[in-house]
Chain A
């Protein structure tokens, strides 16, 4: 130990401004929760949160370009990848937040319970409903989570990555448990997500410690340097990499760490599921790209086969298991598992095309998932969400526009040409093929065929099935409509004219090391 004094690191606050805005917005939201009256909270929180996200996005666009670089003692890397993914997280979270705010003419966000901590069916719950309690804490929680996601894709240090992981995860655990209807399911989802998430985080930490032991540093650049020069402690390297990967693979819901996905996607409030599915994937894959491409790229021979097998398993299991699902939300959950596999196919490629195709796929997936879940939230039967496939029968005749949007999104999820799903799949598969992973692409295509089957069953039910008794489509307010329309429009645009976004992804696909 040298006797050198601790030197305060240089921090480029301008570059960090978008994240700072989001975190400050979250804190202001907490304050509003404390001081605003019940009646006014919703009216304050919604504009506040949306404005925060928009402001952060504006800051990112205006300042990001010229303030790239490593900062905060090289623990934060604001490079093209980080900025692009941060922007994507922001855009998607704006859509997600709008969908969450849907009230359907009521006084509070429709999907959320009025007293999260009370036992379902208890006196406390009744009381909370009677006095008109609101669950506007979802706004600061969401903002915090978004801030964590933005940090997650920029973290250049294992410890900071962990901090970001927890910042983004903890609010999600809470949000998952706040569904207004089927609350026990929701609370079970929250608990499962939390317990399994904690375990994965523990594995991540264990892996990070092993890597620290290996390289003597948590910085990605130092780890990469240690791998290149070889420090003679290889026994720690590979277990460390694999355990870190476990933590990240859990977040994206890849097989065999996928088991929480269906339960949590089903139990969580539907708009939260959409937000979670879209934004968490972006953040987690962003972090995974950075860890794998920057920090441990030198050990690729050890981890590439593992990731490839995980990708293949995710695609196959996600596709096969979705066949027998009878619940729309669970179908989408298994589809998200399969999509995690598709994205991993791009990650495995390990070249610039791998990065750009992964980022592009994340964008396409995000823009099709949020509106899909927003639509699920609209289909009601007897006051609750009608998520059974049978209940969707004949929806096309009753609400042709909503059914048409959903059909289109399903086609995108299946990867039919002229939707973004096709261009995205094409991008990741061609990246994988060009690096010699053709067998993965083949499995991917076959898995797509299987998923297409289940989507078409759903489409057939919607358009050709006998009308189900009391299923109705609630008329959405402008907020849900915007979320759906923007998502559908982006899905179409990325399918027909993907060039601008692909250009962006390719021009920003280089990591700062």
Chain B
């Protein structure tokens, strides 16, 4: 049933928009039916047995929709729904639908939704559901407090309330989880009834839970949000701060008091904060000039008192607390609504400007006076009954007066004095004759807003609420019967037996009460002049501290963002390196790493020399400021590695390494033409040192890891037995080559495809447009012509000039200033030799150092020489085909050599060998994998050609075009 009613609230909240749009503000009256119906239904549960309803929600997470209507829940529900209905009804007369400051539709929806969430909050029996409803009320309170969307004050207050209560809610969630996990149940009833809990986790849990209550109920030090939230429309304030939102914190304390009230952390937080809040709020309230602010600080004070009482832990205090809880809901909502009516009628809430309202609106004044009397604790109202009970419960503190309880009792009395004072201030300020200078007409002194009598609803509802306080005061014995069903469960601390009633004889509480009234009246008399300047009680302002905290968080975030996310690549990379340095580095240093017992540093002096050379080159490379120098020095480290391979007896590896290094160098140099000569950044000395240290550190860690890795070998090396197998299966003595073309031929095949894709990719990035490619084709055709001409015709000489020698094919097309005859001659002389060598490497590679890859690179270097001597034209003449053709042919041959064995019924890439005796050459060992190697050879040549053409002549062309455009630009 509870779920159904909550659902109805939700439905009403959704329908509120259309309803208010069609019916205007009368829609609020329709909306009021939902909480009214709820209140009527809940009332039937008042004296019956406890109703429990459970519906599964998220069983996997232990989330369950369980509700438990015990007396506390029923009383709270009655307050929440009953006052909710009345406030909505009041809105039907109060809200101005033509106002553009806020949306009445949103207000209606949010109010009904809020009532629904509060209903769920006070009836649920599940810790997590409690949190869910808690956060819903937080969010809706944001919408309600920030109702006046055009007002900056309102928006700011709404955000403040939201932040404080949402942060408190999250803290509370942690506490709830700690309590739930500790007790193994998330049912509130089981948790509270469970065996007396103790331990650090429970203490923490309870402490965090109370933080939630403290923020929501605006206790010190979080009290500042509540007066700020007075920016909301008055009915909203009435509901939120008399009946609903702030009562959630009180409810939480009341709910958990039976289980945890004896814990020290509970005692300290509840009693100290409750007392402090009661005094601070009361003191501030006696100094306000705005009726609403007066009530707001009064509310803060009363909340402190309520938390103190319901959390005290004794049955008597709980009874007094619940009585006052009910009383407070009635008189505070009545006072707020009466204030709203005054505001509505006069246009002001300032007691310095109000005068004569009491005469003009006697019924309203009656409501206000009755409610204020209840607040001050005057007979025969419920406030009096509650105060008497509270005094009876507190005045004989069990541990003596020099204890928390004693302090709480003293604060309660002092707070009551202040309450009387500000109650008087309210009554006199709102309904009194006002300052003598005021005019005869009631209302605001300046007369800016003409008086109009408040309608029947605006008067009737506050009056009804105030009369409710009177009725309950008279029938307090019956009230005790109801409340005792809950308060009898609060028995953690001993206390006197207390009963509700108007007359207990001439007892100590009555005596104290009389003193309180007298002292309160005196206090009011001393501070009655509203014009007198008010000095703050304490210098520390929690609201300002909140502002500072928020600014501090902003500042910290700004600083850390500036520090952490610069978006600079070196910093990002540096972070990753630091992690590498720290995590595995620390593991190496501190972990149980088994270091090799003996480390052989070097085999020969030559190795040491090469290593030193490499280190020196590496250090110099990091110091280089010119790109070219850096590239060359990095190259030196590569060549040094090759030397080490050679010294270690791996000529094939060394050869490959040298060739690859050379090609990289050439490519880098070609690309560098497009970049500035020096590195553009100029880091400070400190940065450079840091970077150097980081680099050295990473090198050290990786080096040490390598030492550890190689020395902790326990498996047989993968290469064992490979020499024999390479001869048996691959018919070759060069293991590397056999691995490439036989054992791991599939890998090679894959790599060939990748190389092809990469080359195409690079080329397509440089040759962006179809036209450019067409230009290359045209160039190739003309190059073929030049080639033919070079062979066929003698050197053409221009008349009058020196006869030009044509050492290369396209010499006549080059800019004479940029020619280098020496280079041309050298090229002419060695080109074919190099090519021949590459063919030798290809053929011999199966047994000697070499192979398709090395051979291809050698051939590529020969092409490179031609390119350097005569630019793109010469390259075209040297190999007048498109790179793609060479690449494709190579891959085709490689794939074909893989397929052919399959045609013969063998596995793909199977190798056969045969010996052929060729005249003049001698015996040649032919291996079928040579065909595959030929494919590799061609792909590598194709790649080199592609690189030279794209990065060489392609960039040449781009540079030329740019120069041309720049030239045109200057002209």
A320 near B60 (CB under 8 angstroms)? no
A387 at the interface (CB under 8 A from B): no
Over the window 193-228 of chain A, the binary record of Cβ atoms lying under 8 Å from chain B Cβ atoms (1 yes, 0 no) is 001100110010010001001001000000000000
A433 near B573 (CB under 8 angstroms)? no
Over the window 559-597 of chain B, the binary record of Cβ atoms lying under 8 Å from chain A Cβ atoms (1 yes, 0 no) is 011001101010111011011100110011001111100
In the complex, which residue of chain A has the Cβ closest to the Cβ of B131?
A: A417
In the complex, which residue of chain B has the Cβ closest to the Cβ of A431?
A: B61
Over the window 41-74 of chain B, the binary record of Cβ atoms lying under 8 Å from chain A Cβ atoms (1 yes, 0 no) is 0000000000000001111111100000000000
A453 near B163 (CB under 8 angstroms)? yes
A263, B588: Cα distance in complex, Å: 34
- Indicate which residue in A438, A460, A506 contacts B155 across the interface (CB closer than 8 Å): A460
Q: Quick check: which of B174-182, B305-313, B472-480 contacts chain A, the rest being far away?
A: B174-182
A317 at the interface (CB under 8 A from B): yes
A512 at the interface (CB under 8 A from B): no
- Indicate which residue in B128, B575, B576 contacts A426 across the interface (CB closer than 8 Å): B128
- Indicate which residue in A117, A195, A199 contacts B765 across the interface (CB closer than 8 Å): A117
B705 near A246 (CB under 8 angstroms)? no
Instruction: Give the chain A neighbours of B173 by CB distance below 8 A.
Output: 445
A257 near B565 (CB under 8 angstroms)? no
B177 near A320 (CB under 8 angstroms)? no
A498, B702: Cα distance in complex, Å: 47
B155 near A464 (CB under 8 angstroms)? yes
Q: Quick check: which of A73-81, A136-144, A237-245, A481-489 contacts chain B, the rest being far away?
A: A237-245
A259, B553: Cα distance in complex, Å: 21
Instruction: Give the chain A neighbours of B163 by CB distance below 8 A.
Output: 453, 456
A317 near B560 (CB under 8 angstroms)? yes
A445, B594: Cα distance in complex, Å: 42
A295, B80: Cα distance in complex, Å: 56
A321 near B564 (CB under 8 angstroms)? yes
A232 near B587 (CB under 8 angstroms)? no
B564 near A317 (CB under 8 angstroms)? yes
Q: A233-B594, A324-B558, A453-B163 are in contact. Are A195 and B132 (CB under 8 A)?
A: no
A430 near B177 (CB under 8 angstroms)? yes
B769 near A124 (CB under 8 angstroms)? yes
A448 near B768 (CB under 8 angstroms)? no
Within 8 A of B (CB), among A99-147: 117-118, 124, 127
B556 near A320 (CB under 8 angstroms)? yes
B569 near A192 (CB under 8 angstroms)? yes
Q: A456-B159, A456-B162 are in contact. Are A418 and B136 (CB under 8 A)?
A: yes
B60 near A499 (CB under 8 angstroms)? yes
Instruction: Give the chain B neighbours of A325 by CB distance below 8 A.
Output: 561
A256 at the interface (CB under 8 A from B): yes
A446 at the interface (CB under 8 A from B): yes
Instruction: Give the chain A neighbours of B178 by CB distance below 8 A.
Output: 438
Q: A210-B705, A499-B59 are in contact. Are A117 and B560 (CB under 8 A)?
A: no
Q: A118-B768, A453-B163 are in contact. Are A263 and B556 (CB under 8 A)?
A: no
> Distance in Å from the Cβ of A397 to the closest Cβ of chain B?
9
B715 at the interface (CB under 8 A from A): yes
A1 at the interface (CB under 8 A from B): yes
Q: A210-B709, A449-B167, A498-B58 are in contact. Are A242 and B572 (CB under 8 A)?
A: no
Over the window 750-794 of chain B, the binary record of Cβ atoms lying under 8 Å from chain A Cβ atoms (1 yes, 0 no) is 000000000000001100110000000000000000000000000
B718 at the interface (CB under 8 A from A): yes
A448, B162: Cα distance in complex, Å: 14
B747 at the interface (CB under 8 A from A): no
Instruction: Give the chain B neighbours of A463 by CB distance below 8 A.
Output: 149
B554 at the interface (CB under 8 A from A): yes
> Distance in Å from the Cβ of B774 to the closest Cβ of chain A?
15
> Distance in Å from the Cβ of B430 to the closest Cβ of chain A?
32
A323, B564: Cα distance in complex, Å: 14
Q: A203-B580, A416-B139 are in contact. Are A502 and B61 (CB under 8 A)?
A: yes
B636 at the interface (CB under 8 A from A): no
Instruction: Give the chain B neighbours of A322 by CB distance below 8 A.
Output: 557
In the complex, which residue of chain B has the Cβ closest to the Cβ of A262?
A: B565
Over the window 419-442 of chain B, the binary record of Cβ atoms lying under 8 Å from chain A Cβ atoms (1 yes, 0 no) is 000000000000000000000000
B720 near A1 (CB under 8 angstroms)? yes
B584 near A417 (CB under 8 angstroms)? no
- Indicate which residue in B159, B565, B714, B718 contacts A259 across the interface (CB closer than 8 Å): B565
- Indicate which residue in B62, B554, B591, B725 contacts A235 across the interface (CB closer than 8 Å): B591
Over the window 129-147 of chain B, the binary record of Cβ atoms lying under 8 Å from chain A Cβ atoms (1 yes, 0 no) is 0011001100100100010
B803 at the interface (CB under 8 A from A): no
- Indicate which residue in B56, B170, B584, B713 contacts A445 across the interface (CB closer than 8 Å): B170
A118, B764: Cα distance in complex, Å: 11
A418 near B132 (CB under 8 angstroms)? yes
Over the window 425-455 of chain A, the binary record of Cβ atoms lying under 8 Å from chain B Cβ atoms (1 yes, 0 no) is 0110110011000100110011011101100
A324 near B561 (CB under 8 angstroms)? yes
A232 near B572 (CB under 8 angstroms)? no
B708 at the interface (CB under 8 A from A): yes
Q: A446-B170, A506-B60 are in contact. Are A243 and B580 (CB under 8 A)?
A: yes
A199 near B554 (CB under 8 angstroms)? no
> Distance in Å from the Cβ of B699 to the closest Cβ of chain A?
13
B560 near A239 (CB under 8 angstroms)? no
Instruction: Give the chain B neighbours of A238 by CB distance below 8 A.
Output: 584, 587, 591
Instruction: Give the chain A neighbours of B159 by CB distance below 8 A.
Output: 456, 460
Instruction: Give the chain A neighbours of B588 by CB distance below 8 A.
Output: 235, 239
A417 near B709 (CB under 8 angstroms)? no
A441 near B174 (CB under 8 angstroms)? yes
Which of B58, B556, B716 has most A Cβ within 10 Å?
A: B58
Instruction: Give the chain B neighbours of A187 by CB distance below 8 A.
Output: none
A429 near B177 (CB under 8 angstroms)? yes
Within 8 A of A (CB), among B701-730: 702, 705, 708-709, 712-716, 718, 720-722, 725
In the complex, which residue of chain B has the Cβ closest to the Cβ of A257?
A: B576
B32 at the interface (CB under 8 A from A): no
B166 at the interface (CB under 8 A from A): yes
Q: A199-B576, A203-B576, A453-B163 are in contact. Are A243 and B584 (CB under 8 A)?
A: yes
Instruction: Give the chain B neighbours of A460 by CB distance below 8 A.
Output: 146, 155, 159
A11 at the interface (CB under 8 A from B): no
A265, B409: Cα distance in complex, Å: 60
Q: A1-B716, A192-B569, A417-B135 are in contact. Are A306 and B166 (CB under 8 A)?
A: no
A480 at the interface (CB under 8 A from B): no
> Distance in Å from the Cβ of A17 to the closest Cβ of chain B?
24
Instruction: Give the chain A neighbours of B61 by CB distance below 8 A.
Output: 423, 426-427, 430, 498, 502
> Distance in Å from the Cβ of A41 to the closest Cβ of chain B?
18
Instruction: Give the chain A neighbours of B567 by CB distance below 8 A.
Output: 192, 259, 262-263
In the complex, which residue of chain B has the Cβ closest to the Cβ of A456?
A: B162
In the complex, which residue of chain B has the Cβ closest to the Cβ of A446?
A: B170
A450, B149: Cα distance in complex, Å: 24
A184, B593: Cα distance in complex, Å: 47
A324 near B557 (CB under 8 angstroms)? yes
- Indicate which residue in B62, B170, B554, B579 contacts A324 across the interface (CB closer than 8 Å): B554
B714 near A231 (CB under 8 angstroms)? yes
Given contacts A239-B705, A242-B587, A498-B61, 9 further A-B contacts (CB under 8 A): A235-B588, A259-B567, A259-B575, A262-B567, A423-B63, A445-B170, A445-B173, A464-B146, A506-B60
Q: Which residues of A contact B (CB under 8 A)?
A: 1, 117-118, 124, 127, 192, 195-196, 199-200, 203, 206, 210, 213, 216, 231-236, 238-239, 242-243, 246, 250, 256-257, 259-260, 262-263, 302, 306, 317, 320-325, 356, 411, 416-418, 422-423, 426-427, 429-430, 433-434, 438, 441-442, 445-446, 448-450, 452-453, 456, 460, 463-464, 497-499, 502-503, 506
28 A-B contacts, Cβ less than 8 Å apart? A117-B768, A124-B768, A199-B576, A203-B576, A232-B714, A233-B594, A235-B591, A235-B592, A238-B584, A242-B583, A243-B583, A259-B572, A317-B560, A320-B560, A321-B560, A321-B561, A321-B565, A323-B558, A324-B561, A417-B135, A438-B181, A441-B174, A445-B174, A456-B162, A460-B159, A464-B149, A499-B58, A502-B58
Closest CB pairs A-B (n = 6): A239-B584, A323-B557, A235-B593, A417-B132, A502-B60, A259-B572
